[in-house]
Amino acid sequence: MAASMFGSEPLAQTATPLPGDAAGEPDTAETEVAPEPLPSAIVESTPLPAAKPPIPAGCESLYSPSMVAQLQGYGVVLNPAWARAELAETVSLEDPELVNFVTSRPNLQCLWVTPGGGSGMGIETRIVPVTAEEDAVVQARLANLGYDRIAELGGTRYVFGVAGSEFGAAYGESHIVVGGYWFATSWLELGITGYTADMVTTLLG
């Protein structure tokens, strides 16, 4: 899946009506009836579920200048036209359940790939705003997948990587759910140390 994502081929890839003055009925317009009190369950305020944070306005604001320079040093650029056209509907994660979660919710896709087309190298990140309940669902799935866990950035980062995947290239993923966002990253031949931390601290401070 990841090779198709970053290679030359795009990946193929939740009232009752008021009483009327009927003929023969007495006029009751002057009769005042005290309204019944509302049930206590309605009077008592019920806390609303926490709202999701907004989707970031764009990928450009998610990276520090030093991270941008580091990535560009590998010959990749952010969201070139060919990638926006060919890869907008793809999600390069290995687990189908995580893919379904991403595609069923509004999210922001950030792609670092070569400017002229697929080259077998790149990084994709999906930033997905989540509620507390969705946060728990995502983290439970990541834990069940057996990814390595790292206490980081006020949360738990889940990672895995292989030096030589079925595509003959190094591949890996990095996930963290923090501050109401799920940062879901996959990379092929371009595992950048500090990439996830840079996004989280740039967006959330």
DSSP string across 70-112: HHHTTT-EES-HHHHHHSTT----S-HHHHHHHHTS--EEEEE
Is residue 27 in some structural domain?
A: no
Domain hosting 154: range is 59-74+92-108+126-204
Is residue 193 in some structural domain?
A: yes
Is residue 154 in some structural domain?
A: yes
pLDDT in the model for residue 48: 54
Is residue 12 in some structural domain?
A: no
46 or 28, higher pLDDT: 46
- What H or E segment, with its residue span, contains residue 151? strand 148-152
pLDDT in the model for residue 52: 86
Is residue 168 in some structural domain?
A: yes
Give the Cα separation of 152 and 157 in Å (integer): 6
pLDDT tens digit sequence for 180-193 = 999 999 999 988 99
Is residue 83 in some structural domain?
A: no
Number of structural domains found in the chain: 1
Is residue 115 in some structural domain?
A: no
- Average confidence (pLDDT) over 149-163: 93
pLDDT tens digit sequence for 54-84 = 999 899 999 999 999 999 999 999 999 999 8
pLDDT tens digit sequence for 90-124 = 888 999 999 999 999 999 999 999 998 877 899 99
Give the Cα separation of 90 and 80 in Å (integer): 15
Is residue 65 in some structural domain?
A: yes
